[in-house]
Amino acid sequence: MSHVCPNCHRAFESELKLELHRDTCGADDLVCGECGEQFPESAATRDGWHYACPNDECDAEGIGEQLYDLDGVRAR
Protein backbone atom coordinates (compact mmCIF):
# COMPACT_ATOMS: atom_id res chain seq x y z
CA MET A 1 0.00 0.00 0.00
CA SER A 2 1.32 3.42 -0.98
CA HIS A 3 1.30 6.42 1.37
CA VAL A 4 1.06 9.76 -0.46
CA CYS A 5 2.20 13.16 0.79
CA PRO A 6 -0.66 15.67 0.56
CA ASN A 7 1.81 18.50 -0.11
CA CYS A 8 3.99 17.20 -2.96
CA HIS A 9 2.12 13.98 -3.89
CA ARG A 10 5.21 11.77 -3.57
CA ALA A 11 4.44 8.16 -2.67
CA PHE A 12 6.14 6.24 0.14
CA GLU A 13 6.09 2.55 0.94
CA SER A 14 5.49 3.03 4.67
CA GLU A 15 3.63 5.42 6.91
CA LEU A 16 6.83 6.06 8.87
CA LYS A 17 8.70 7.17 5.74
CA LEU A 18 5.81 9.48 4.89
CA GLU A 19 5.83 11.01 8.38
CA LEU A 20 9.59 11.60 8.21
CA HIS A 21 9.19 13.22 4.81
CA ARG A 22 6.36 15.50 5.95
CA ASP A 23 8.64 17.05 8.58
CA THR A 24 10.62 18.70 5.76
CA CYS A 25 8.12 18.89 2.90
CA GLY A 26 7.54 22.60 2.63
CA ALA A 27 4.24 22.97 4.41
CA ASP A 28 5.20 26.64 4.89
CA ASP A 29 6.21 27.18 1.26
CA LEU A 30 5.04 30.10 -0.83
CA VAL A 31 4.61 30.31 -4.59
CA CYS A 32 5.07 33.44 -6.67
CA GLY A 33 2.11 34.40 -8.84
CA GLU A 34 4.40 36.16 -11.33
CA CYS A 35 7.38 33.85 -11.93
CA GLY A 36 5.95 30.60 -10.50
CA GLU A 37 8.93 29.95 -8.22
CA GLN A 38 8.29 27.97 -5.02
CA PHE A 39 10.31 28.83 -1.91
CA PRO A 40 10.20 28.66 1.90
CA GLU A 41 8.43 31.56 3.60
CA SER A 42 11.66 32.43 5.44
CA ALA A 43 13.44 33.08 2.11
CA ALA A 44 10.87 35.76 1.21
CA THR A 45 11.29 38.03 4.24
CA ARG A 46 13.97 39.68 6.32
CA ASP A 47 11.76 41.17 9.01
CA GLY A 48 8.76 38.79 9.12
CA TRP A 49 6.49 41.62 8.03
CA HIS A 50 7.33 42.45 4.40
CA TYR A 51 7.47 39.64 1.83
CA ALA A 52 8.97 39.62 -1.66
CA CYS A 53 9.87 36.93 -4.17
CA PRO A 54 13.52 35.94 -3.61
CA ASN A 55 14.07 35.56 -7.37
CA ASP A 56 16.34 38.48 -8.36
CA GLU A 57 14.56 38.83 -11.71
CA CYS A 58 11.07 39.10 -10.15
CA ASP A 59 9.43 42.09 -8.43
CA ALA A 60 6.43 40.31 -6.85
CA GLU A 61 5.57 41.34 -3.29
CA GLY A 62 2.95 40.74 -0.63
CA ILE A 63 1.40 37.53 0.67
CA GLY A 64 -2.05 37.24 -0.84
CA GLU A 65 -1.25 39.91 -3.44
CA GLN A 66 1.41 38.29 -5.63
CA LEU A 67 2.80 35.63 -3.27
CA TYR A 68 0.53 32.78 -2.20
CA ASP A 69 0.58 30.08 0.45
CA LEU A 70 1.24 26.84 -1.40
CA ASP A 71 -1.46 24.97 0.55
CA GLY A 72 -4.04 27.55 -0.52
CA VAL A 73 -3.00 27.29 -4.16
CA ARG A 74 -3.30 23.47 -4.12
CA ALA A 75 -6.75 23.56 -2.51
CA ARG A 76 -8.28 25.62 -5.33
**Residues 21-64: tens digit of each pLDDT:** 877 776 678 999 999 998 888 899 999 899 999 999 999 999 99
Number of domains making up the chain: 1
**Residue 25: which domain range?**
3-75
DSSP codes of every residue in the chain: --EE-TTT--EESSHHHHHHHHTTS-TTEEEETTT--EEEGGGGBSSSS-BB-S-TT---BTBTTTEEEHHHHHH-
Sheet order of strands, 38-40 included: 38-40, 29-32, 67-69
Cα angle for residues 7, 19, 28 (degrees, 5° grid): 40
Q: What is the pLDDT of residue 32?
A: 95
pTM for this entry: 0.62
Whether the Cβ atoms of residue 51 and residue 63 lie closer than 8 Å to each other: yes
pLDDT tens track for 15-28 = 998 888 877 776 67
